[in-house]
Amino acid sequence: MNRKTFHHRTLALFAGLCLTGATAMAQTFPAKQVNLMVPYPAGGLSDAIARIVERPLAKAFGQQVIVENLGGVGGALAAQKVLASPADGYLVYQGSPNELILAPLALQAVKYKAEDFRMVQIIGAFPMAVLARKELGANNIEELAALAKKSAAEGKPLTYGSVGVGSFYHILGEHFAHQVGAAMTHVPYKGAAPLFQDLAGGQVDVSFIVIGAQQMGLIEQGRMKVLGTLAPAGKVEAPFLKAFPSINDSKVVKDFAYNAWTGYFVRKDTPEPVVQALNKALATAMADPDARKQLEQIGGMLPAPMTPAEATKEYEAQTARFRAIAKSIKLEAQ
């Protein structure tokens, strides 16, 4: 046998072994407990989502599923733990644009990039709105833009709150200010709870943020108000927001439709059979009636399940969109 023939046969044998190994992996995954890595402490919205997914996902897998919480550095500590673990699908990251797309752009301490992860499935999205303190002299998005320009010209720019530098809510606030041409002052908080407390107390002017049952309660009590939703033009994403127009129905902003989606991710080099198995199990889990009901009760919307290829395409599109915004507002890592 000459060297060339030996080389070809070796490659064919190697390819055959890889195919056999991949098939076996698809048939046996998961063979043990799967952990859902939540990048925030227990008790928040991210944790609540994971607790909803935990039970039906365990049923779909036929294996135990455990929620693991690890907060810190804008979700980066948990992300880095996943990247440092084997690419075998047993540690799955629950993430959003905040941790995987924006954190690497905004925080110098974050050393990974969005492409280090692969999205398996989006499992929920939450409606967003522009919320304002009750005394603010604006009741819709047109009036907010006019007030922002007037206040900036007088040297007293409006303030907008977020849950931290480089967070989704920070980027949206700066993006709005950029679009309407009025400087606004960013006020970062260490979480949503103190932000809503200050918004209801009148210490900060507005926030571009997720809205749910808790916030609707504050609105109904007259402690804050909705200036508009971030739904696409002419669309209502959540029944409890049907009384409020989208800011995209105005002429003040362009392409400003956003929701806070959450998905599950693995390392980019996770074997395809494992990704396929995870994708199928997550779709099955979110078809569970109890899980759907619980997610809707906390304000979530359930998108149609995606194939792995569709999930990859959507993640690439989301990454490109947020990077373009970060570039337009000249976001610098801190």
Q: What is the CA radius of gyration of the chain?
A: 22
The whole-model pTM stands at 0.85
Domain ranges of the chain: 32-124+262-328, 128-249
Query: Hey, do 32-124+262-328 and 128-249 end up sharing a CATH topology, with the first three levels equal?
Result: yes
pLDDT, position 274:
98
pLDDT, position 6:
52
- One DSSP character per residue, 95-133 reads E-HIIIIIHHHH-TT----GGGEEEEEEEEEE-EEEEEE
The listed CATH number (3.40.50.880, 3.90.1150.10, 3.40.190.10, 2.30.29.30) that belongs to domain 128-249 = 3.40.190.10
Sheet strands (E) in the chain: 34-38, 65-69, 91-95, 117-126, 128-133, 159-162, 185-188, 206-210, 224-229, 260-267
Q: What is the pLDDT along the chain (334 residues), one digit of tens a residue?
A: 565 555 556 555 554 554 445 455 556 899 999 999 999 888 888 999 999 999 999 999 999 999 999 988 888 999 999 999 999 999 999 999 999 999 999 989 999 999 999 999 999 999 999 999 999 999 999 999 999 999 999 999 999 999 888 889 999 999 999 999 999 999 998 888 899 999 999 999 999 999 987 888 889 999 999 999 999 998 888 888 999 999 999 999 999 999 999 999 999 999 999 999 999 999 999 999 999 999 988 889 888 999 999 999 999 999 999 999 999 988 888 8
pLDDT, position 13:
55
pLDDT, position 161:
96
CA dihedral 253, 255, 258, 261 (to 10 degrees): -160
pLDDT, position 74:
81
| Residue 288 DSSP SS3 | coil
The CATH number of domain 32-124+262-328 is 3.90.950.10: no
User: How far apart, in whole angstroms, are the C-alpha atoms of residue 306 and residue 288?
Assistant: 16
φ/ψ of residue 105, rounded to 5? -85, -25
User: How far apart, in whole angstroms, are the C-alpha atoms of residue 308 and residue 17?
Assistant: 24
Q: Which of 144, 135, 147 is nearest to 225 (CA)?
A: 135
> Is there a contact between 253 and 178 (Cβ–Cβ < 8 Å)?
no
> Is there a contact between 276 and 262 (Cβ–Cβ < 8 Å)?
no
User: How many CB atoms are located within 10 Å of the residue 223 CB?
Assistant: 16
pLDDT, position 289:
95
> Is there a contact between 67 and 50 (Cβ–Cβ < 8 Å)?
yes
DSSP conformation class of 203: S
Q: How would you list the strands of the sheet with 185-188, edge to edge?
A: 185-188, 159-162, 206-210, 128-133, 224-229
| Residue 243 DSSP SS3 | coil
pLDDT, position 22:
47
